[in-house]
Amino acid sequence: MQTASYRLPAPWGSLRFTCIDGEFDSLIPELEVVEGPDRAPEEICRWMDIAGSMLEHPHVLSAADRRHLFSLSRMRGLSDFARAVLREVSFLEPGEILSYAQIAERIGEPSAARSVGRALAANPFPILIACHRVAPARAISSMSVLKPQTLMPEAYLGDKAKKGIGAWLRIRDLADLP
């Protein structure tokens, strides 16, 4: 198994795009600052461009890009439940924030809110699948653009050190709304 990774600068540090045997395998937000994008294979350059455009002007993946992303080995290797959660989240528009319970209901598993949170913490393609658009119901009720600290998640992708990335993404989503 051959693994390679490529980094793209991001406002908080960088994004690491990982390939296994030439196939896009994961996107990892990192706090480490990089000066410029790494030279990467065409497929990864395409995903770098998509992620970069999503950071600049938040939007959802196109239907074709969503199909391609969900056809990758990494996605096929997830449980049916995790894929259902990620698929539902992939349709959330910028500025739309749903609760874990609402996602659980939408996928037909109304008692699985905690499992939704675990599936999102393991999201292999954040930014592309905007897991920052999901939060605990108690947090959503207190969110306010007038108080940016209320947009800070407890953790981002299960990592408390990266919660500022989640907050940045939420604020960016809201800043780009018409």
Active site residue 131: yes
Q: Does the predicted model carry a pTM greater than 0.85?
A: yes
* C-beta atoms surrounding 38 within 10 Å: 16
Residue 141 pLDDT greater than 80, yes or no: yes
Domain parsing of the chain, residue ranges: 3-175
Query: Is 3-175 a CATH 1.10.10.10 domain?
Result: yes
Which one of 131, 165, 167, 169 is the catalytic residue? 131
Residue 81 pLDDT greater than 90, yes or no: yes
Residue 62 pLDDT greater than 90, yes or no: yes
Phi/psi region, residue 21 (left: phi>0; alpha: psi -120 to 50; beta: rest), is left
How would residue 145 be classed by pLDDT, with cut points 50, 70 and 90?
confident
